[in-house]
Structure 1
Amino acid sequence: MRVTAIDRYEIDPGTVTEWTLAAPERLRRSSVPPSYNQRFHLDTARTQGVGRSVWMAGSFDVPGQPDPDTLRRTFDTFIRRHDALWTGFDVHPDRIERHIVSPDALGLERSAPREFTDTTALRNHLRDRFTRVCDPLTFPAFLFATVERDTRTTIIAAFDHTIVDGYSLAIAVRELSTIHEILAFDPEATAAEVDALLGPAGSFMAFCETEHQAGREATVTTGDPRVRAWAKFYDDCGGTAPSFPLDLGVEAGRPVAQASDVQTVLGGAESDRFEEHCLRAGGTMFTGILAALAMALRLEGGPDRLPLQFPLHTRRDPRWENAVGWLTTSAPLTVPITEGDFATTLVDTHAAFRSALTLGGLSMGQIHAGVGERYRRTRTDLFMASYIDYRRLAGSERHGELNAHHISNVTVCDDAQFWVSRTGGGLSLRSRFPNTATGHTTIGRFVARLSAVLGAVAQQGIAAPARPSVAVRVREA
């Protein structure tokens, strides 16, 4: 699955048709509270306004020009499987109310087709429509679109972030493509038969209830070792979340237009070698990437200890494995860097990573409540690095055949964030950073440096840690 941003999405022009939910006559109030992630996202949307549409989309191709009735049934079947798509929110300064509608009351409306002959114009149109419809303060906050051509059609499912995370997009691509194939082959197939073939979907609403109940039952104090660890992490970051350590030409708390960059940083065979070297040295692919990222920043003038946060999915319970929703949390990590010595940096990073994993079990809401005034929010964004190996997700063996993409919106930001994704083609890095001259220069140099560090390890291997001697040295540019 190729991870990209809408301004870099490679899509051929064609005829665009949208499929949106008809506005239901009424939504009833639900007692299920928003998850912590949803609450944070909705509060930010209410107070900031600009750039609030943080939508994400999954896309894939099917041959020819699909039958409209088959498409309608495909989208309807998918909606009925996932209760995250049945709800919206009323957001007030003092409360957030969830509303829900029965899936039986939801109907899809098909737009008039619109022809595009230019890729840039098509991307701009899709961005505008997704931004308008996938608004967290409206319902529904998602839509489906098709881009038809003579020999193939691209199907796109776009959602506000309150509804999905990155894993959810992979689930959406797998299920939508499978449902469409089933219904195209057997138009008489029932929703129950499709569900039996796909397996249980999982309820995101049930996850929200479980998270809320766990938060009410758990007593979290400042003496909790997990709270103490987070408090120390924030103290080390100056009483706030970590920020990218190099100049991006933007003031904290004053976001500007976002820039994005997508590059392949290691090929397929190189990625295999890099992972093999990291495993032999006592690390993993992810901790190797973090070590390389930290060393690249150090070579660009960054610190010798790099604090950052990384997302973790919360799908360990089989009930949530195939749920569409936002099921992630965050963990703190400080990477200690031994200059010029990748082996030692990797070992220390892996130890820090293992320690960070022991801090699970609490939501970010509980953490911030426990930390109290030792944490203050100074930036809109935070410095984070994410890693996902799409090869391990169900349906990934077809991502190449389907031309599957994970597409993100381009909004505003005041920090840098990075998503590393692995496919059979290697490692890809998506960067999100302020669209300033300084930001482009800084991120350009950093990404080039990171590619050099990763490439050096893949080619040279990793010697045993031996302070203070150098195991893998990357030359100064």
Structure 2
Amino acid sequence: MHVTSIDKYMLEPGIVTEWSVDPGVVSQSAVPPSYNQLFHLDTARTHGIGRSVWMAAAFDLPGRLDKEALELALVHFIRRHDTLQTGFDVTSDALMRVDLDPALASVVASDPVLTSSPDELRDHLRRRFTEACDPLTFPAYLFATIERDDHYTVVSAFDHTLVDGYSLVIALGELRQIYQKLLSHSVSRGITAAELTEGLGAPGSFLRYCELEAETPATELGDPRVREWARFYERCGGTAPSFPLDLGVEAGKPAPQGADVRPLLGTADAERFEEICFDSGGSLFTGTLTAMGLAVQSINGTSRMPLQFPLHIRQDPQWANALGWLTTSAPLTVEVTPDGDFQSSLAHTHASFRTALTLKGVTMAQVRESLGDAYRRTRTDVFMVSYIDYRRLPGTDDHDELNAHHISNVTVADDAQFWISRTGRGLALRSRFPETPTARRAVTDFLERLREIMLNICENGVAPIAELTTQLHLEGTPVI
């Protein structure tokens, strides 16, 4: 799956049809929002502009679209996942979860719209997804198809309150299977819901997850996991970590978002880099983080880079096939040694990563509640680095053939965030940051140095890295 942002998503134009949900009867729900949902909704209420943090999964199929089969597939898909049956009624001073009755909900196709260029198509999708996938509306998702003479694209867009990145892989695979099974029964449609979803596994209930999270008892500051979080935030000045280069924005005052999508390493180099990291006692993820730390050090001499990274919580089988925002966060600090040696620095990074994994089981809600005034939120965003190896996720073997994409909206930002993705093509990086001249220069310089450092490791191994970063630091002009 290719990870990109909507401003970089260039697709062959065609006839666009939207597929929206008519919720029918809507009722109030006593299920509380999860911590992630509440954080997202509070941010949306505070910063109205750019609040639609939607994400979408897209795939291509050959031939002509069967609209009747797709409509039925979407109805079955919505009935399968309760995260698509829920949302929020939000005002300035109140927040209430609302649910639709899946038995009464229907899918409605819009009048088709002809697009004549990739730019026109991209702008159309961006505008409509941003309007429809608003966290303060219900239902906060929308489907779309783009038809051409010999193939078509199916896009499923959701607000972040409803899904995470892992969910997009599940959604793509399930919707495709249900639709293609219906195609094989195009005459009679004589197929049961059980037959349509055979082999997909139990969907799990995201609403049940929200209930269980709310029922989790409070923790004390004496809990070693909370103490670790407390030490981490204390070292960050009592707040969340921030990207260690000047981005030209004031904390808490987001600017329009900039985006960058680029390859880091091809297939062979990614395998070589991973091998070197393993031989040095690390992993590809912690090795990439270490290379990021070396890139920062080469720019401004900073040797310590705290960050947070998301962890999915699908190890419990009941959430394995669920759609929902099923992630937590973990703290990690990259410590670059004074001589800038990659292998020694990687040892520090990987040790921090292993410590972070011991914090599983404590939720962010518990951490924030336990810390109280010891933590304050200063920025809208958190400096975060995510990693997904799509090769390890089920149903991704033919994603290249399907032209599968994970597409994110472009909104506003007051910090930098990075998404590392591993596919059969190698290693790629999507970056999100404030679109200011200062940030654009800083992030571009950082990304170029990061790639140069990683390629140097692939070519020469670990020994010359200290020499390289010293040379970069001496020859480069700090971006401030």
TM, length-normalised to structure 2: 0.95
Return the offset for 1:123: 0.7
Amino acid of the residue matched to residue 39 of structure 1? Answer: L
Q: Distance in 2 between matches of 1:439 and 1:242?
A: 17
Q: Distance in 2 between matches of 1:4 and 1:44?
A: 23
Amino acid of the residue matched to residue 51 of structure 2? Answer: R
Structure 1: runs of 5 or more not aligned:
464-468
1:466 — aligned with what? none
Amino acid of the residue matched to residue 281 of structure 1? Answer: S
Per the alignment, in what secondary structure is the counterpart of residue 197 of structure 1? coil
2:297 — aligned with what? 298
Residues 247 and 442 in structure 1, CA contact (< 8 A), matched pair in contact too? yes
2:161 — aligned with what? 162
2:13 — aligned with what? 13
Q: Deviations over 1:305-335 (max 9, x none)?
A: 1111111111110100110000001011111
Return the offset for 1:232: 1.4
Residues 246 and 302 in structure 1, CA contact (< 8 A), matched pair in contact too? no
TM, length-normalised to structure 1: 0.96
Q: Deviations over 1:389-433 (max 9, x none)?
A: 000001110111111000000000111000000000011100001
Return the offset for 1:99: 1.4
Q: After the TM superposition, which residues 446-461 of structure 1 pair with which residues of structure 2 at under 5 Å, given as runs? A: 446-461=446-461
Pick aligned residue for 2:207 from 205, 208, 212: 205
Off by >6 Å, runs of 4+ in structure 1? 469-472
Q: Distance in 1 between matches of 2:226 and 2:383?
A: 20
Q: Deviations over 1:53-73 (max 9, x none)?
A: 100000000112211101101
Amino acid of the residue matched to residue 206 of structure 1? Answer: R
Return the offset for 1:250: 1.1
Residues 291 and 345 in structure 1, CA contact (< 8 A), matched pair in contact too? yes
Q: Distance in 2 between matches of 1:42 and 1:63?
A: 39
Q: After the TM superposition, which residues 296-445 of structure 1 pair with which residues of structure 2 at under 5 Å, given as runs? A: 296-338=295-337, 339-445=339-445
Amino acid of the residue matched to residue 288 of structure 1? Answer: G
Per the alignment, in what secondary structure is the counterpart of residue 427 of structure 2? strand
Residues 456 and 465 in structure 2, CA contact (< 8 A), matched pair in contact too? no
Q: Distance in 2 between matches of 1:323 and 1:143?
A: 19
Q: Distance in 2 between matches of 1:302 and 1:222?
A: 34
Residues 462 and 472 in structure 1, CA contact (< 8 A), matched pair in contact too? no
Q: After the TM superposition, which residues 171-250 of structure 1 pair with which residues of structure 2 at under 5 Å, given as runs? A: 171-187=170-186, 188-214=190-216, 218-250=217-249
1:276 — aligned with what? 275
1:141 — aligned with what? 140
Structure 2: runs of 5 or more not aligned:
none
1:98 — aligned with what? 97
Amino acid of the residue matched to residue 139 of structure 1? Answer: F
Amino acid of the residue matched to residue 461 of structure 2? Answer: G
Q: Distance in 1 between matches of 2:395 and 2:10?
A: 22
Q: Deviations over 1:239-269 (max 9, x none)?
A: 1111111111111111110010000010011
Amino acid of the residue matched to residue 182 of structure 1? Answer: K
Per the alignment, in what secondary structure is the counterpart of residue 362 of structure 1? coil
Residues 341 and 473 in structure 1, CA contact (< 8 A), matched pair in contact too? no
Return the offset for 1:302: 4.8
Q: Distance in 2 between matches of 1:106 and 1:401?
A: 33
Amino acid of the residue matched to residue 304 of structure 1? Answer: S
Return the offset for 1:21: 0.8
Per the alignment, in what secondary structure is the counterpart of residue 88 of structure 2? strand
Corresponding pairs, count: 468
Range with greater deviation from structure 2 (228-237 or 256-265):
228-237
Q: Distance in 2 between matches of 1:172 and 1:128?
A: 22
Amino acid of the residue matched to residue 269 of structure 2? Answer: E
Q: Distance in 2 between matches of 1:472 and 1:391?
A: 34
Q: Distance in 2 between matches of 1:92 and 1:177?
A: 36
Return the offset for 1:132: 0.5
Per the alignment, in what secondary structure is the counterpart of residue 397 of structure 1? coil
Over the matched positions of the two proteins, sequence identity in percent amounts to 56
Question: Structure 1's 372 and 64: CA in aligned 2 closer, same or farther, altered over 3 A?
Answer: same
Q: Distance in 2 between matches of 1:212 and 1:398?
A: 39
